Each structure stands twice: as structure tokens, then as C-alpha cells.
Amino acid sequence: MQPGNRSRSEIALAWFWVVAWIAIVQIFATDSFSANETSHIIVPLLRWLFPDADASWLASAHFAIRKLSHFVVYAILALLALRAFRLVFNRSPVWLAAASLALTLAVAVVDEGRQILARSRTGAVSDVVLDMSGAVCALVLAGVIRRFWSARR
């Protein structure tokens, strides 16, 4: 179905999910989700799952989970944006992916900028790179899946 054939409610719902996910990302950038705060939830869970783990391993696992969350959260944002752009614009897959990446990059930069201003957070360029890695991987995977399904028709 071409973008012009999509209902307004379908397009609105797609953009609703993009905006809702961006709001969630911005909530994650607050002091409530600092490493100190998430350690109160994640470390006890890890300790329960791995009772023989030492403090060093628990700290490393907590760090890894936090970094993995960057990758996953921005992968989801890129896919939501790709869907919304696809519903609105009749453009090439490369253009749609580039638009999704541009939106994702803007959110990542704002997110890290807000973290610089937060009392217990630190913004980092490396986190923006990690965010964009998740977005790129998700979009590449979406492209591969789309080609696979198109070839099977």
C-alpha cells in the first residue's frame, strides 16, 4: 500500500509511538535512572540470579546492562521512526532509513545533553555512538528482513 493510501489514524498512531518512545527515552535521562539508582534494582536481581558472583562481576554486569539498554532503546526508536516515515513518505528505503537515523541522532544528542545538566548523570559522546549503533543495526536488520520477504513473494 502506498503512503497516500494510509488512513490518518494509522499514521497518527505510528507517530504517537515515536513520540511516546522519545518521552520514555527522556525519562531514562533523568536522575531517577542514574547508575546509582538503577543499581538498587539491577544488582540485587543479578545477585539473586548469580549468588556466587563477586562485587566486581556484579558491577561489570550492571554497567553492561546499562550500556546494552542504550543499544536496544535506540534500535526500537529507529524502527518506530522508520515505520512512521514509511507511512508518510513514498521515498526509497535508503531515504527512509536516513530520515530515521537523523531523528534518532537528534534524540540521542538531546538525551546526552540533558544528562550533562543532570545532577547525578554524565553525558557522553560514546553513548551517542552506542545509541546510533543500535539504530543502524536495527535498520540494517529491517532492510535484510524486508528484502527476504520481498524475494519470497
- CA distances to 49, 94, 112, 114 from 75, rounded to whole Å, are 27, 17, 16, 20
pLDDT per residue as tens, the chain (153 positions): 456 567 899 999 999 999 999 999 988 887 777 778 888 999 999 999 999 999 999 999 999 998 999 999 999 999 999 999 999 999 999 999 999 999 999 999 998 888 887 777 777 888 999 999 999 999 999 999 988 888 877
* All three cell numbers of 145: 528482513
Q: Map out the domains of the chain as residue ranges.
A: 3-152
Output DSSP code: residue 4: G
CA–CA distance, 89 with 61 (Å, rounded to integer):
41
* Secondary structure of residue 119 in the 3-state scheme: coil
Indicate the residue type of 52: D
CA–CA distance, 103 with 89 (Å, rounded to integer):
15
Q: How far is CA 2 from the centre of its chain?
A: 27
